[in-house]
Amino acid sequence: MRKERTPIIAANWKMHNGPQQACSYIQALLSALPQAKRCGIVLCLPYVDLAAAAPLLRDTRMALGAQNLHWAPQGAYTGEISASMLTQLEVRYVIVGHSERRRLFGESDQDVNQKLRAALDAGLRPILCVGEDLEQRQLGAAMELIAYQLKTALSGVSAQELRQVIIAYEPIWAIGTGVSATPEQAGEVCTGIRQAIQQLYGAPAAQSVIIQYGGSMNEGNAAQLLSQEDIDGGLIGTASLDLDKFLSIVQTANQLCLEQQA
Ligand code: PEP
C-alpha cells in the first residue's frame, strides 16, 4: 500500500451468519475498534442481514456492503435484488463478479459489466473481482485474462466513475483454500492490474484506484501482503467470519497506514 491511497479492508461473509449473528458481530467489532479512522472497513453481508445491520453501522467508521445485485432496476426476476433496493438499506458497496458467482452461477463478463453499471448508476461503490484459475496461471495466461476481465467489466465506465470502483484481485486457486498467493505473486498481479488501468484510463486514474488482494488472507499473512506497494487492502472471506481474526487484519492495515504516515 502507499500513503496516497487509503486501504480498504472488506469482509465477504458469503452465505454465513443470519441477522442475529450479524448484529452481535457488529456490536463486538465496534467496541473493539480503535477510535482513529485509518483504513476503510466494509462488511459485505448476506442480503437478509442488511436491514438489521444498517442502523448499527450508521455514523460509524464501517460501511455496509452487499455481495451481489441484479442489473435491472426492477422487473420479473424472481429472487433477485436491484441496486436501488440496496441503497434503500443504506448499502454503499457491492461485490461484483466474484469468482463464485462466475463459476457456480454462470455470470459472464458481460453480466459483470451490466452489474457494475447498475451499481455505479445507483451510487454504489462496486468491488470488482478479477482473477485466474490454477490452469490459467500455470499456462502463463493470468495477466492476459485479467486484463480482458477488466476491459470488459469496465466497458462504458468513465474515468470519473472509475474513482468509485475498487478492484479485487482474487486468484481462484487461493480462495477458500487456505493457500494464499505469496506476497510477491499477489503484488506482481496487482501491479499488472494498475498498468492495465493505466492503459485504459491514464496514469492519474491508475495511481489512485484501490486494488485489494483476496484469497486466504488471514491474520498471519496480512502484513506481508498489505506491504506490497500495489495492494491497497483485502477482500477477506473465511478469516472475516472470526471476529478476532478480522480485527487483527484491520489492526495490521491500520498499523501499516500509521507507519507510512510517520
Ligand atoms: C473471497 O471469497 O472473496 C475470499 C477471499 O475468500 P477467502 O478469504 O476464504 O479465501
pLDDT along the chain (262 residues), means of 10: 91 98 97 84 98 97 97 98 98 98 97 98 98 96 97 98 98 96 97 98 97 98 97 98 97 90 77
Amino acid at 131: G
Q: What are phi and psi of 163, to 5 degrees?
A: -60, -25
- Looking at residue 67, what is its pLDDT? 98
Give the three cell numbers for residue 124. Answer: 454504489
Q: Is the CB of 67 under 6 A from ligand 1?
A: no
- Integer-rounded Cα radius of gyration of the chain: 17
- Looking at residue 258, what is its pLDDT? 86
Give the three cell numbers for residue 23. Answer: 448484529
> For residue 48, which of 75, 86, 105 has the smallest C-alpha distance?
86
Q: Is 194 helix (H, G, I), strand (E, B) or coil?
A: helix
Q: Is 242 helix (H, G, I), strand (E, B) or coil?
A: coil
* Pocket-testing residue among 225, 236, 242, ligand 1, by greatest number of atoms within 8 A of Cβ: 236
Give the whole-angstrom CA distance, residue 98 versus residue 100: 5
- Looking at residue 1, what is its pLDDT? 81
The CA 75 to ligand 1 mean position distance, Å, reads 31
The CA 260 to ligand 1 mean position distance, Å, reads 27
Give the three cell numbers for residue 220. Answer: 498471519
Residue 127: CB atoms within 10 Å: 31
The one catalytic residue in 70, 98, 132, 219 is 98
Q: Is the CB of 176 under 6 A from ligand 1?
A: yes
- Looking at residue 35, what is its pLDDT? 72
Could you tell me the pTM of the whole model? 0.97
Question: Between vectors from CA 57 to CA 6 and to CA 120, what angle results, nearest 5°?
Answer: 60
- Looking at residue 54, what is its pLDDT? 98
- Looking at residue 38, what is its pLDDT? 87
In 10-138, where does DSSP find H-type helix?
Answer: 19-32, 50-57, 83-88, 99-104, 109-121, 134-138
Instruction: Check if the beta carbon of residue 86 is closer than 8 Å to that of residue 65.
Output: no
- Looking at residue 3, what is its pLDDT? 82
- For the stretch 40-96, pLDDT in tens is 999 999 999 999 999 999 999 999 999 999 999 999 999 999 999 999 999 999 999
Give the whole-angstrom CA distance, residue 246 versus residue 239: 6
Question: Between vectors from CA 42 to CA 41 and to CA 45, what angle results, nearest 5°?
Answer: 145
Q: Is the CB of 215 under 6 A from ligand 1?
A: yes
94: left (phi over 0), alpha (psi -120 to 50) or beta: beta
Amino acid at 77: Y
Residues 6+ apart with CB under 8 A from 153: 96, 97, 109, 112, 113, 116, 128, 130
Q: Is the CB of 170 under 6 A from ligand 1?
A: yes
Residue 211: CB atoms within 10 Å: 27
- Looking at residue 173, what is its pLDDT? 97
